[in-house]
Amino acid sequence: MNNVVCTGWRAKCLAALVIPSALALGGAKPSTAAGPFRHHEAVGVNSNCGNSVYPALQTARVGWARITLPWYDIQPYDPSSQPPAYQGRVLDQTLLGAFKRCVDQAIDNGMKVLVVFHSAPPWALSADGVPDPAAYGSAVGALAAALPEVSAWEIWNEENMHKSWQGTARQYVRLLRAAYTAVKQANPTALVVFGGTEHNGAGWLKRCYKAGARGYFDVFSDHPYPPHKAAGRWGQALSSVSKARAVMVAHGDSAKPIWLTEFGWSRSAVSPQEQARLLTKSYSFLALHEKYVQAAFWYQAQDTCAIPHDWACGLGLLTSAGEPTPAYRAMASYNARHGNN
């Protein structure tokens, strides 16, 4: 989701309950695992890494945290040095330390961590606005080495939309392959997650397979938000991921799971009670009808603003003041009934 205004990783952290066990992975070679996979029910949300938020998520049996780290924060451009000081594997150690504390907060509250790494610094962009895959791979590899406690790395965000990615599917695959190789070399057990596609990413995924994506991600991810003014179309939104699943099967990746790394309904479109009902219906629907979806991350844990009738301000399970909503109670109830975490 890119229509939320934020300034750096501190303003946008995501937390979610997902799979309680990791996929079996090995080495830095492309993955070609086949065979049946097990369905694990999952839920997700957004937080600001605050000490007051993570205990609430733990109480609701949230098992994973999804945290955004913009690349431009951790390797900003330094025009005073030649070459720029933050190219290559050099990370801003002050920001890295602060980000590690954010990660550790989630882990200390019983959660595993998925990091979303996107938004290139100016020095890493080509003239047409496409990030340098070698520089991205070097950066995410350095992060994976510095943060071995991170269990999964999501490679960019909503790259099928021009507002998030200026290049082609082939150019994204170059980035994905560089990132996969670097992460596996740094931490072979970490999962590499295909950047979450906005709405239905089946067509984009098909083009990426054609460009050589197979074997360079462990999990495909999608963001099946319903239209803002048609929030009741929950079944249609969630069912759209079946198109991406068909593309994966056609390309020999039937064993790989799908995660919905963002989805949700806003209280600007539905009542708080209806938001709670849709949360429960959604996870029940996925568990019954889309067993290849192993994780679904609710967006978001806490409202980051309090503007009436603003879609982005009514997505949270907690209000901006930290008060639980009916959706929070629905999540806690669902997880308690189904034994999550």
User: Is the model's pLDDT at 148 over the cut of 90?
Assistant: yes
Contact yes or no for 258/243 (Cβ under 8 A): no
CB contact set of 110 (below 8 Å; sequence gap of 6+): 58, 63, 341
* Range 20-45 average pLDDT: 35
DSSP-assigned letter for residue 200: -
Burial (CB count <10 Å: 0-12, 13-18, 19+), residue 326: middle
Element housing 272 (H / E): helix 272-289
User: Is pLDDT at 4 greater than 50 in this prediction?
Assistant: no
The answer to whether residue 38 scores a pLDDT higher than 50 is no
pLDDT-based confidence at 27, cuts 50/70/90? Answer: very low
Look at strands 64-70 and 112-118 and give their pairing: parallel
Give the three-class secondary structure for 149: coil
Are 242 and 277 in contact by the 8 Å Cβ rule? The answer is: no
192 versus 80: which is more confidently predicted?
192
Task: Considering only residues 9 and 236, tell me which one the structure prediction assigns the higher pLDDT.
Answer: 236
Residues 306, 293: Cα–Cα separation, whole Å: 32
Q: What is the pLDDT of residue 341?
A: 53
Higher-confidence position of 4 and 191: 191
pLDDT at site 59: 92
- Report pTM: 0.87
Q: What is the DSSP pairing of strand 64-70 with strand 13-17?
A: antiparallel
Scanning the structure block, which residue is given the tokens 């492309």?
30
Taking only the tens place, the pLDDT of each residue in 63-94 is 888 888 999 989 876 656 666 555 555 788 88
Of 82 and 124, more confident: 124
SS3 content of the chain, % helix, strand, coil (to 5): 35, 20, 45
Return the DSSP state at 123.
Answer: G
pLDDT tens across 277-296, in order?
999 999 899 988 998 999 88
CA distance 197 to 203: 10
Confidence grade of residue 41 (pLDDT, cut at 50, 70, 90): very low
Determine the pLDDT at residue 257.
Answer: 94
Average pLDDT of the residues of the chain: 83
pLDDT at 140: 96
Q: How many CA atoms lie within 13 A of 179 on its CB side?
A: 32
* Least confident span in 54-63, 137-146, 161-170, 221-230: 221-230
What integer is the mean pLDDT of 298-312? 88
**pLDDT tens readout for residues 232-287:** 677 888 999 999 999 999 999 999 999 999 999 999 989 999 999 999 999 899 98
> Does the pLDDT at position 29 exceed 90?
no
**Over the stretch 307-334, which tens digit does the pLDDT of each residue have?**
988 998 999 999 989 899 999 999 999 9
Helix (H, G, I), strand (E, B) or coil at 212: coil
* CA dihedral sign, ordered 143, 147, 149, 150: negative
| Chain segment 165-180, per-residue pLDDT in tens | 999 999 999 999 999 9
pLDDT at 43: 45
* Choice between 46 and 31, residue whose per-residue pLDDT is larger: 46
Check residues 83 and 162 and name the one with the higher pLDDT: 162
Q: How many residues can be counted in the chain?
A: 341
pLDDT > 70: what percent of the chain?
79
| Contacting residues for 20 by C-beta, under 8 A, at least 6 apart | 40, 63, 340, 341
For residues 44 and 298, is the Cβ–Cβ distance under 8 A? yes
Question: What's the pLDDT score for residue 89?
Answer: 58
Residues 102-128, mean pLDDT to the nearest whole number: 90
What domains appear along the chain, each with residue ranges and CATH number? 11-19+35-338 (3.20.20.80)
